[in-house]
């Protein structure tokens, strides 16, 4: 795998709709992928990135909600163990540039995952980090931000979604890969 080929995947790429597969081997190749995922996330000015958003159907995501080097976190084969409370906040997604909608998420989460050393760990979080975990877990399960929008926000976002479909849409010849704008007959 050529790491430089890993790029941000945009809606409506069909890979975003697939449930991700568990990771069975933790090795240097995985560590290199994680490093590239952080690069992609920072280039896009994001707080989290699921492997599927880099084109890999793996149960893996990274986050950094602090913006500091010691805020980088890696979650391999994560599971949410507990959620409590609810809070509604505007939420965006790197795979949906410039699209934001108020979404209701749990305010508190407890998660279990494996780190790059192969050690299992559990963490608890509230607010922004808890929201990031839920968002990235949705990606691992093929659930997108537009699936969580209220019917009114889906209607309000129709034009933006259509724009993304036109800009990043895939035709039969692209086999789901991200290309430039798709030529359309007018």
Confidence of residue 170 (pLDDT cuts 50, 70, 90): low
For 45-99, write each residue's pLDDT tens digit. 999 999 999 999 999 999 999 999 899 999 999 999 999 999 999 999 999 999 9
Domains of the chain, residue spans? 3-168
Which of the following is catalytic: 39, 122, 136, 165? 136
Confidence of residue 176 (pLDDT cuts 50, 70, 90): very low
Confidence of residue 185 (pLDDT cuts 50, 70, 90): very low
For 151-164, write each residue's pLDDT tens digit. 999 999 999 999 99
For 3-12, write each residue's pLDDT tens digit. 888 999 999 9
Helix (H) or strand (E) holding 113: strand 108-114
Residues 6 or more apart from 26 whose CB is under 8 A from it?
Answer: 76, 114, 116, 117, 118
Predicted structure pTM score: 0.88
Q: Is 79 a catalytic residue?
A: no
Q: What mean pLDDT, rounded, does the chain reach?
A: 91
Read off the tokens for 161: 């979604």
3-state class (DSSP) for residue 94: coil
What are the phi and psi torsion angles at 168 (to 5°)? -115, 5
The domain 3-168: what is its CATH number?
3.90.45.10
């Amino acid at each position: 795998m050529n790491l430089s080929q890993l790029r941000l995947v945009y809606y409506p790429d069909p890979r975003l709709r697939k449930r991700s597969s568990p990771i069975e081997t933790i090795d240097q190749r995985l560590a290199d992928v994680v490093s590239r995922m952080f690069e992609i996330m920072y280039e896009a000015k994001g707080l989290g990135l699921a492997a599927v958003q880099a084109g890999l159907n793996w149960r893996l995501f990274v986050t950094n909600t602090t913006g500091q080097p010691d805020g980088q976190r890696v979650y391999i084969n994560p599971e949410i163990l507990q959620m409590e409370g609810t809070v509604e906040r505007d939420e965006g997604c790197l795979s949906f540039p410039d699209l934001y909608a108020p979404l209701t998420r749990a305010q508190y989460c407890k998660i279990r995952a494996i780190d790059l050393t192969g050690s299992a760990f559990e963490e608890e979080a509230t607010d922004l980090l808890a929201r990031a975990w839920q968002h990235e877990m949705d990606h691992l399960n093929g659930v997108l931000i537009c699936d969580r929008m209220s019917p009114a926000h889906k209607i309000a976002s129709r034009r933006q979604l259509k724009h993304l479909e036109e800009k990043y849409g895939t035709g039969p010849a692209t086999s789901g890969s991200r290309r430039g704008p798709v030529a359309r007959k007018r």
